[in-house]
Amino acid sequence: MKYIPESSSLKKLLSIPVVVAALGYFVDIYDLLLFSIVRVPSLKALYVPSTLLLEKGIFLINVQMAGMLLGGILWGVIGDKKGRLTVLFGSILLYSIANIANGFVANVDQYALLRFIAGIGLAGELGAGITLVAEILPKEIRGYGTSIVASVGVLGAVLAYLVADTFDWKIAYIIGGVLGLALLVLRFNVFESGMFSHVKEKKVSRGNFLSLFTSGTKLMKYVRCIMIGLPIWFVIGVLLTFSPEFGKVFGISVPVQAGKAVMFGYIGLSLGDLSSGLLSQHFKSRKKVVLIFLLLTSLFIALFLLQNSKDAIVFYGLCLFLGFSIGFWALFVTISAEQFGTNMRATVATTVPNFVRGSVNVITPLFLLGKGYWGITASAGAVGALTIILALLALWKMEETFHKDLNYLEI
């Protein structure tokens, strides 16, 4: 029978830490996706030739993601050594300042440096927020909590599109930075995870990132967590981000706007995150629901790449369904947090999504390599199929964590 939260549980779900984590992820997604939305107008404003828009766009995305890889490790270790709140304060401060500075760039080199710094800051928000929410909520409802964080958070992409469509791209960056700084005020009311506070008093190794590589069992658990998320970022980093290029190949009647494609994709992602969270509570299983969404992702990647409609409405509709199909993002991060003990949880929950995001540094070169040989759609199909296969293999051997008590240590 489907579990329905009682009034006390609803109060916990709407507690300040959950609400602030959701709003923090909202601002995080706004800033993270803003470049994908303003890629073309911002690069044109910096006098990048039209023939180099794709190349320079990929370069800047890869620079941002490289920053997120580094930031994922940095904030993950800090989260387990100093606390979840330290990360929530430090990360949002860094990326907010970097995004305000993005509003004053004069060339691509400055743009790249600031996207790298922003990437470091953006890396800490989701993992720390999901870890905090997972630890403060009872296991019976933590799936609801993490779904709220993600489904509210990804709507930041919608605001990013609306702001970028209304204002100049530089103003859009400044607005994002100001939103982040404003959120810092709310964070003063958030309390630390009781599980972490208890562990902090013990003499136990915390946040030792390298320890993940000293045990074959830990390493395989960690790699599986990363692999199940690869299809998500293939869809975001290739199909949605480079939607204008796909639109040209498909012969869409009007030029496709990357910002609009990303917006529709993230509306779908928000709905998917909410649905996958509710389904995992209903089936009392994380793995079954991830499998369902991986199969949906396979279906909609195929439909997207094999479409023969030249109607922009159909194209954006497929972006919406693609977004829904990858709406197991919150579930994937929750699973990662549940796989490891309290002394390593923030490290894993923060690094895993950022390694998935950082996989764009492998996925896009593979995509571009294949594009030169087979064309844009066949290359995207091959790379997409590879990510799906790796995710299914990882899910096959993964531990089910729905009923798992998180109050334990990783030895």
pLDDT digits (tens, 9 = 90+) for 23-77: 888 998 898 888 878 888 999 999 999 888 878 888 898 898 889 889 999 999 9
61: nearest Cα among 378, 371, 362: 362
Report the distance separating Cα 382 and Cα 367, nearest Å: 8
Confidence grade of residue 148 (pLDDT, cut at 50, 70, 90): confident
331: nearest Cα among 377, 367, 376, 296: 296
Report the distance separating Cα 41 and Cα 163, nearest Å: 14
pLDDT computed for residue 359 by the predictor: 86
Higher pLDDT, 139 or 70: 70
Sign of the dihedral defined by the CA atoms of residues 397, 402, 405, 409, in that order:
positive
Question: 246 with 340: CB under 8 angstroms?
Answer: no
Report the distance separating Cα 219 and Cα 208, nearest Å: 13
pLDDT computed for residue 7 by the predictor: 59
C-alpha 7, offset from chain centre: 31
Question: 230 with 397: CB under 8 angstroms?
Answer: no
Residue type, 143: G
353: nearest Cα among 172, 149, 183: 149
What is residue 337's three-state secondary structure?
Answer: helix
The stretch 239-267 carries a mean pLDDT of 89
What is residue 266's three-state secondary structure?
Answer: helix
Q: Find the helix packing angle between 16-45 and 53-81, rounded to 10°.
A: 150
Indicate the average pLDDT of the chain.
Answer: 88
The stretch 388-395 carries a mean pLDDT of 96
C-alpha 251, offset from chain centre: 30
pLDDT computed for residue 42 by the predictor: 92
pLDDT computed for residue 1 by the predictor: 40
Report the distance separating Cα 68 and Cα 73, nearest Å: 9
DSSP for residue 44: H
Report the distance separating Cα 315 and Cα 226, nearest Å: 29
DSSP for residue 263: H
Report the distance separating Cα 257 and Cα 111, nearest Å: 21
Judge residue 177's burial from the number of C-beta atoms within 10 Å of its C-beta, 0-12 exposed, 13-18 middle, 19 or more buried: buried
The stretch 191-197 carries a mean pLDDT of 75
Question: Quick one: which H or E segment has residue 364?
Answer: helix 360-374
Domains of the chain in sequence order: 12-396 (1.20.1250.20)
DSSP 29-54: HHHHHHHHHHHHHHHHHTT--GGGHH
Residue type, 23: L
pTM of the complete model: 0.84
Report the distance separating Cα 65 and Cα 358, nearest Å: 5
Here the tokens at position 366 are 């593979």
DSSP for residue 235: I
pLDDT digits (tens, 9 = 90+) for 77-106: 999 988 888 898 899 899 999 999 999 999
